[in-house]
Amino acid sequence: MSGMRHLVSIDDLSIGELNQLFEHARHFSENLRDSTGACRGFIAASIFYEPSTRTRLSFESAMLRLGGGVVTAADMSTSSVAKGESLADTVRVVSGAYADILVLRHPSEGAARLAAKYSTVPVINAGDGANEHPTQTLCDLYTLWIEKGRIEGLDVVLFGDLRYSRTIHSFVYALARFGANLVCIPHKGLELPDYVLKRLHEEFGASPQAADVSRLGELAGSSGATYIELPGPQRSQLHPESDRGVHLVRRVDAIYMTRPQTERFADGDSDLDYVSLNPESMASEALSDAVVMHPLPRRDEICPDFDADPRAIYFDQAARGVPIRMAILGMLLGQLDFDADPTEPKQAEHSVNQPGNPCPNQGCVSHTELRQVPPCYRVLGDSPVRAACAYCSRALEAALVGELGQEQAFCPDSPKARQIPVERLVFFRGPQEALAAGYTA
């Protein structure tokens, strides 16, 4: 591996690199005290704008076990942020001489990608709003890999708050890349967001279908369940039939529980009657081999009575955060051997060519940070013309597109729209917005 790299999204790593990370983590886990020289002389900076226990401490433990050092800003209310310092300036200062790698948690979606723009050292996303949490996902994938011996073809239940959990969103994309299948059992009103389902369809050809989860017993709850089957060679062996478009879930390999993310709830959301997993709800034969995972912290969604069950692996899962983060740090600092091909470069980034900010996500860093965040976009495709915010990856809502300096707006699926140079695109949510900007719709 050559050149500086960041870990902003799980997509920043290829499948080959992920598998090599798992191998390095397994090696580290055999004796955590036996790798104290791998990153000797390097310093990691923990910059946490939101509370954290496991992520921050596991990263700091990982760096110390590798022989490096740690500097920490765990309460940003006591930092220069309280004086109005921007995220961009904080990153430039800390990456200047204070540290060799940054671990950032921030409440705004896309904050880690913004930080990567300004940092002179690798940036690791430790959670950006409700967007992604790639290192937790790596810990989760590694846990499945250790427990089940593979990831491809597994049936994984995603349970609880699927709307606001950034861990779920990263995990969904990663499981899709490995060819696992998803059984979604959301708390009512906390279903997977439409933009996540849209990405699964566009990138993986996946289409959700109704699921019959009655064989899961009490765990099925009363909310609607969906099944998302993803490409892979083991499908026909595992699931030979669906009944009238409703997929019958016969058994599952893993259950991923989440707590209600009340700190991100919108008005009207509620965590009342949030389903709890307990020994009785796990009594179904279909769940006999299903390991139970949770990113922690938990509230009441897993009963403590279940902790002694051999299927309860959430504390093992948390412990595995140290060796997998040792592997991540060693990789990004260039201190471990990796020969797998990296991911393809992302689409080019372009500055927005119109007044205002077309990103529809008000939680995006392009809206929440007032300085040094010029709105940018990436083009996703040209049939029709589609683009997304370069920070939070949310699709732009473009009913019409035009060319900078011209006077005509076109439907995104028209031949004229496809001829517009990608760096000169202008996006309109509707005819009135185009007319107000001087374009003929």
pLDDT (mean) for 278-289? 93
pLDDT higher for 361 or 300? 361
Digit-coded pLDDT (tens) for 9-32: 999 999 999 999 999 999 999 988
Q: Give the model's pLDDT for residue 67.
A: 95
pLDDT value at 310 more than 90:
yes
Helix (H, G, I), strand (E, B) or coil at 294: coil
Instruction: Band the pLDDT of 120: cuts 50, 70, 90.
Output: very high
Helix (H, G, I), strand (E, B) or coil at 400: strand
Q: Give the model's pLDDT for residue 235.
A: 44
In the chain, the amino acid numbered 103 is: V
Residue among 169, 212, 207 at smallest CA distance from 191: 169
The contacts of residue 245 (CB under 8 Å, 6+ apart) are 209, 210
User: Is residue 149 exposed (0-12), middle (13-18) or buried (19+ Cβ within 10 Å)?
Assistant: exposed
pLDDT higher for 292 or 208? 292
Q: Give the model's pLDDT for residue 237.
A: 36
> DSSP string covering 100-126, please?
SEEEEEESSBTHHHHHHHH-SS-EEEE
pLDDT (mean) for 301-330? 95
Q: What whole-number distance in Å separates Cα of residue 217 and Cα of residue 60?
A: 41
Q: How far apart are the first and last CA of the chain?
A: 49
Q: Which residues on neighbouring strands pair with residue 69, listed in sequence order?
A: 43
Digit-coded pLDDT (tens) for 370-404: 888 999 999 988 889 999 999 999 999 899 999 99
Q: What whole-number distance in Å separates Cα of residue 359 and Cα of residue 376?
A: 9
**Sign of the torsion formed by the C-alpha atoms of 273, 278, 283 and 286:** positive
User: Is residue 345 exposed (0-12), middle (13-18) or buried (19+ Cβ within 10 Å)?
Assistant: exposed
Cis peptide before 310 (omega within 30 of 0): no
Could you tell me how far CA 402 lies from the centroid of its own chain? 32
Q: Give the model's pLDDT for residue 162.
A: 87
Instruction: Band the pLDDT of 203: cuts 50, 70, 90.
Output: confident
Residue among 171, 110, 176, 105 at smallest CA distance from 137: 171
Dihedral in degrees, nearest 10, Cα atoms 425, 130, 213, 220: -150
Q: What percent of the chain clears pLDDT 90, i.e. is strictly above it?
A: 64
pLDDT (mean) for 119-127? 97
Quick check: 355 and 103 in contact, CB under 8 A? Answer: no
Q: Give the model's pLDDT for residue 308.
A: 95
Q: Which residues on neighbouring strands pair with residue 44, listed in sequence order?
A: 70, 101
73 φ, ψ to 5°? -120, 90
pLDDT higher for 354 or 78? 354
Assign residue 334 a region (left: φ > 0; alpha: ψ between -120 and 50; beta: otherwise). Answer: left
Digit-coded pLDDT (tens) for 247-276: 999 999 999 998 877 666 666 555 556 678
Q: What whole-number distance in Å separates Cα of residue 411 and Cα of residue 105?
A: 39
Q: What whole-number distance in Å separates Cα of residue 382 and Cα of residue 172?
A: 25
Q: Which residues on neighbouring strands pair with residue 256, listed in sequence order?
A: 158, 293
**Domains of the chain, earliest start first:** 10-132+321-332 (3.40.50.1370), 135-313 (3.40.50.1370), 349-436 (2.30.30.20)
Helix (H, G, I), strand (E, B) or coil at 204: helix
Q: Give the model's pLDDT for residue 32.
A: 85
pLDDT (mean) for 279-303? 92
Instruction: Band the pLDDT of 160: cuts 50, 70, 90.
Output: confident
Q: Give the model's pLDDT for residue 272.
A: 59
Q: Give the model's pLDDT for residue 222.
A: 60
Please give the structure tokens belonging to residue 251: 């058994």
Q: Give the model's pLDDT for residue 167.
A: 83
pLDDT value at 233 more than 50:
no
pLDDT higher for 100 or 206? 100
Quick check: 132 and 111 in contact, CB under 8 A? Answer: no
pTM for this structure?
0.88
Cis peptide before 240 (omega within 30 of 0): no
Please give the structure tokens belonging to residue 90: 């904080």
Q: What whole-number distance in Å separates Cα of residue 184 and Cα of residue 203?
A: 19
Q: What percent of the chain clears pLDDT 70, i.e. is strictly above it?
A: 91
Quick check: 69 and 99 in contact, CB under 8 A? Answer: no
Lowest-confidence segment of 42-51, 218-227, 408-417, 430-439 by average pLDDT = 218-227
Q: What whole-number distance in Å separates Cα of residue 342 and Cα of residue 398?
A: 32
Q: What whole-number distance in Å separates Cα of residue 378 and Cα of residue 111?
A: 16
Q: What whole-number distance in Å separates Cα of residue 360 and Cα of residue 396?
A: 6
pLDDT value at 79 more than 80:
no
Q: Spell 172-186 as b/e; 16+ CB within 10 A means b.
A: bbbbbbbbbbbbbbb
pLDDT (mean) for 53-82? 86
pLDDT value at 6 more than 50:
yes
Quick check: 29 and 320 in contact, CB under 8 A? Answer: yes
Q: What whole-number distance in Å separates Cα of residue 441 and Cα of residue 435?
A: 7
